[in-house]
Amino acid sequence: NAGVTQTPKFQVLKTGQSMTLQCAQDMNHEYMSWYRQDPGMGLRLIHYSVGAGITDQGEVPNGYNVSRSTTEDFPLRLLSAAPSQTSVYFCASSYSFVGGRSYTFGSGTRLTVV
Amino acid sequence: TQLLEQSPQFLSIQEGENLTVYCNSSSVFSSLQWYRQEPGEGPVLLVTVVTGGEVKKLKRLTFQFGDARKDSSLHITAAQPGDTGLYLCAGPPVGSTLGRLYFGRGTQLTVWP
């Protein structure tokens, strides 16, 4: 099983450019989410989705859009990139069990905005 | 404000030593999870603890959930270089939206041969 697949692995953008980070999972998980990881800050939730057609904001949603047209895919869009969005982005999918959720993370996209 | 505080932030030890990493909060959590992350990769789930006072063992790693479900610890016995990585605790606070996960900032562990 591939699990959670993120593309691209690396990306350099100029300020003001737009792009889409792709995320796909093959585990039929309803819940998917996007995090960014910055040095000393841990992982912070950007947006999440509890199922196809349903999305909601996390801690740091400004500057990012998401959509969920299928169970498998959850792309993250940067409409006008800013240097503050330089970070490593992780997509995760999860299933619930008694007491919590089990998360599977992708291997990340390292984004640099210059 | 960080919901989960991890300590220490950095830990550098020799092979064979024991160590403990702590994860503390003022909030009660439904469960707590521990992840290990290696450079260039996403976090990988090690364990989930659900019940207050619960202890789980994974080979040389022992995880404990506090009785009040506000804290957790990870103890590694006889650390090996392969244990090197970033250890993250995470969990959904009681009452959070649909089990949304909050992360600590992590403990960077380096084990020298």
**Of A45, A99, A103, which has the smallest distance from its Cβ to B45's Cβ?**
A103
End-to-end CA distance of chain A: 36
Tens of pLDDT, residues B52-91: 999 999 999 999 999 999 999 999 999 999 999 999 999 9
Q: Tell me, what's the pLDDT at A97? A: 75
- All residues of chain B having their beta carbon less than 8 Å from the beta carbon of residue A102 are 45, 48
Query: Please, what is the Cα angle at A103 between B70 and A18, to 5 degrees?
Result: 115
Q: What share of chain A is helix, strand, coil (3-state, %, to 5)?
A: 5, 60, 40
SS3 assignment for chain B: CCCCEEECCEEEEECCCCEEEEEECCCCECCEEEEEECCCCCCEEEEEECCCCCEEEECCEEEEECCCCCEEEEEECCCCHHHCEEEEEEECECCCHHHCCEECCCEEEEEEC
The encoded tokens of residue A2 equal: 């591939």
Each residue of A69-114: pLDDT tens digit? 999 999 999 999 999 999 999 999 998 877 677 899 999 999 999 9
In this predicted model, what pLDDT tens digit does every residue of B27-50 receive, in sequence order?
999 899 999 999 889 999 999 999
Please report residues of B whose CB lies closer than 8 A to that of A106: 42
